[in-house]
Amino acid sequence: MKNLETLHWKGEESGRLVLIDQTRLPGEFVEIECRTVEQVWEAIKTLRVRGAPAIGVAAAYGVCLGLQTVAGADGPALLAQLDEVTAYLAASRPTAVNLFWALDRMKRTAAALAGRASPDRITAALLAEARAIHEEDRQMCRAIGRHGAPLLKGVEGVLTHCNAGGLATADYGTALAVVYTAVEQGQTLHVWADETRPLLQGARLTAWELHERGIDVTLICDSMAAVVMRERRVQAVITGADRIAANGDAANKIGTYGVALLAAAHGIPFYVAAPTSTFDLSIADGEAIPIEQRDPAEITHGFGRQTAPEGIGVYNPAFDVTPARLITAIICERGVIRPVDREQIAAVLGDEP
């Protein structure tokens, strides 16, 4: 099996970020090296690296790259550059809160040392913080897998939407961690992967990584999920999330809301698997979650072929919000949040900012 490491840092303070270029999958497995913060910004924007947790890890390393240009500068110059670089990276994509969470951690690390430590020490501490974010993400995947696997007892078929697997994280995913763990524990599972229009993360990435890891998977068009449920081929749905509000409303890849409605109509449990870094307790409910609008060409000229009339009006939100009432449980690294409501979330995430 290929080394499916989504991203890694090579070297020390003057190192670089290496990541799998997910836009080239499944046709080509290519790793690219980012040596500048601009390259990391572009990689996030164009989805070479994508998935909420992986975006956070990439951004943390992006900060380290952005500071390399002021190596040798004094403390105030370093901190001014840090402000600039974090603001720049924050403008790459708006919905996944893990991006802002990781950038905040980097800023807090520097703030704690400002005026007390040399610029070199601050730079070293920032690389250590990025590495810690990376390592915690690995641990998080394993913990989500452990907490979620028991929910799949007796399940034969599970449906997922978009890619919340290894490619979206530093290890083996959130939603797919639950699948991988259940299979490691001896369960036989069949995954139904929605292709996930318009950018086909389900077809290009989820189907690919499940296949690479030897898990049974059947790819379906998004429009087939209803019939797959009616035919009783799936007994559970698991997706990831990009931002979860204080009441449990969860933003995830466009189409997730529809899948949740279908699951409710068929009496199938709908689980969201996401780390605590995906919660945004400053937002009361899903109404306030910023939804990324993407280029109309992703719909009219997907993968280079024109499939709609020139100049046609297009609406292309990249995410939608599934209301908490449709979510059976949220699986995070601390355990299973059930029922999904403000009180349960506060009880599990009490100490989060």
Binding residues for ligand MRU, per CB under 6 A?
47, 50-53, 96, 162, 164, 168-169, 173-174, 201, 239-242, 252-253, 318
Least separation in angstroms between residue 2's CB and ligand MRU is 20
- The DSSP result for 115-158, as a single string, is TTS-HHHHHHHHHHHHHHHHHHHHHHHHHHHHHHGGGGTT--EE
Least separation in angstroms between residue 302's CB and ligand MRU is 14
Report CA-CA distances (Å) from 71 to 13, 119, 284.
9, 8, 41
Contact residues for 241 (Cβ-Cβ < 8 A; gap 6+): 52, 174, 250, 251, 252, 272, 273, 274, 278, 330
46: number of Cβ within 10 Å = 13
What sign for the dihedral angle of Cα 282, 278, 155, 232? Answer: positive
Residue of closest CB approach to ligand MRU? 240
Active site residue 285: no
Nearer residue to ligand MRU within complex by CB, 7 or 79: 7
Least separation in angstroms between residue 174's CB and ligand MRU is 4
Nearer residue to ligand MRU within complex by CB, 122 or 327: 327
Categorise residue 115: left if φ over 0, alpha if ψ from -120 to 50, beta otherwise. left
Nearer residue to ligand MRU within complex by CB, 81 or 328: 328
**What's the full length of the chain, in residues?**
353
Nearer residue to ligand MRU within complex by CB, 92 or 109: 92
213: number of Cβ within 10 Å = 17
Among candidate residues 171, 242, 280, 320, the one labeled active-site is: 242
Least separation in angstroms between residue 241's CB and ligand MRU is 6
Least separation in angstroms between residue 178's CB and ligand MRU is 11
Q: Which parts of 11-135 are beta strand (E)? A: 16-20, 31-34
119-148 and 97-113 helices, crossing angle to 10°: 140
Token pair listed for 160: 């997922």
Nearer residue to ligand MRU within complex by CB, 96 or 263: 96
d(CA 62, CA 293): 23
Least separation in angstroms between residue 311's CB and ligand MRU is 26
d(CA 241, CA 262): 18
Least separation in angstroms between residue 50's CB and ligand MRU is 3
What sign for the dihedral angle of Cα 206, 211, 215, 216? Answer: positive
Nearer residue to ligand MRU within complex by CB, 123 or 278: 278
Give the residue from 314, 257, 337, 328 showing the smallest Cα distance to 289. 257
Q: Which residues on adjacent β-strands are paired with residue 9?
A: 17
d(CA 86, CA 103): 6
Nearer residue to ligand MRU within complex by CB, 164 or 336: 164
- Active-site annotation, residues: 242
